[in-house]
Amino acid sequence: MLPPHRHASRLDSPLELKPLPHNQSWSGKIAYLDRDGVLNRWSDNYVNSPEEVETLPNSGESVARLRRYGFRICVVTNQSPIGRGLWDHDTLELIHKKLETQLIEEDSDAILDLVLYSPYHPSENAWARKPNPGMLEAGRQIIEASENNKQEDLKIMYGHQWVERPSESSSIMVGDQISDIEAGRKFGVNAIQCDQTIGIADVIDKIVPRRG
């Protein structure tokens, strides 16, 4: 089993979740979001440095709307350039820090609660690489452990190992690629495909109603 990796931390390290807006209690909803083509601009040649990070219009506002509607945010992104030897985990950490900064600059509620990535080459057929659902499985368990103060007992399970699963009926997966949609469906969430030139702002009104 090739597990996901986590931004700036070991996968099983304690996760410190910041309060949801208005100090609302969490109902169990998670928004699993792809990265490129959803939060920032897609590139056929990959996003290779922090300088190449450009958030899509209103992506920060859209993430903030999700959190104000009670969603925890879990980014799940395939990052095969690491497995291809193009660059390393440290470079990806800088890219994700730049993304987090740009989202927060747009809206202070646009916090990414958890960022997971698959560094593996496609030929490895890693369970963590979409269209497989490994990143979503890990994301649910890490966030729930933090919310329920059970991080010391956390043992992340995948596939058939994970028997007693919570319902994902109120959660969503947003992606621009078929592999994102397949991963979401395998995991049991409502999977929504967006236009990669628009990103999450393309579909946010389908998920979160606008206040009148």
Query: pLDDT digit string (tens) for 42-77?
Result: 999 999 999 999 999 999 999 999 999 999 999 999
Scanning the structure block, which residue is given the tokens 């979001």? Answer: 33
Structural domain range at position 179: 26-207
Distance separating alpha carbons of residues 110 and 101, to the nearest angstrom: 9
Alpha-carbon gap, residue 97 to 18, rounded angstroms: 17
What is the tens place of the pLDDT at every residue in 156-180? Answer: 999 999 999 999 999 999 999 999 9
* Side-chain-side CA neighbours of residue 94 (13 Å): 10
What is the model's pLDDT at position 84? 97
**36 belongs to the catalytic site:** yes
pLDDT for 89? 98
Asked if the model's pLDDT at residue 143 lies above 90, the reply is yes
Q: Does a structural domain hold residue 20?
A: no
Asked if residue 10 is part of any domain, the answer here is no
What pLDDT is stored for residue 146 in this prediction?
A: 97
Q: How far apart are CA 11 and CA 1, in angstroms?
A: 14
Any domain includes 13: no
Average pLDDT over residues 123-136: 97
What type of residue sits at position 22? H
Q: Assess if residue 180 is contained within a domain.
A: yes
**What's the chain's average pLDDT?**
97
The tally of domains found in the chain comes to 1
CA–CA distances in Å: residue 105 to residues 33, 43, 49, 109, 124? 19, 22, 19, 10, 37
Do strands 172-175 and 114-118 pair parallel, antiparallel, or not at all (unpaired)?
Answer: unpaired
Q: Catalytic: 176? A: no
Q: How many whole angstroms separate alpha carbon 95 and alpha carbon 184?
A: 24
Look at residue 186 in the predicted model and tell me its pLDDT: 97
**What is the C-alpha to C-alpha distance for residues 203 and 157, in angstroms, rounded to an integer?**
31
pLDDT at residue number 212: 47
Catalytic residue, from 36, 107, 113, 180: name it: 36
> Is 17 part of any domain?
no
Does a structural domain hold residue 21? no
- Res. 153: pLDDT tops 90: no
Options 12, 34, 109, 205, the catalytic residue: 34
Position 91 pLDDT exceeds 80: yes
Tell me whether residue 18 is in a domain. Answer: no
Check: CB of residue 39 under 8 Å from CB of residue 103: yes
Confidence of residue 122 (pLDDT cuts 50, 70, 90): very high
How confident is the model at residue 170, as a pLDDT? 97
Q: Any idea which of 121-125, 148-152, 177-181, 191-195 has the lowest mean pLDDT?
A: 148-152
Q: What is the pLDDT of residue 1?
A: 78
Q: Which of the 8 DSSP states describes residue 20?
A: P
Whichever domain contains 92, its CATH number is 3.40.50.1000
Based on its alpha-carbon atoms, the radius of gyration of the chain, rounded to whole angstroms, reads 16
Residue 97 belongs to some domain of the structure: yes
Q: Up-side HSE of residue 109: CA atoms within 13 Å toward CB?
A: 17
Which residue bears the tokens 């890693």? 126
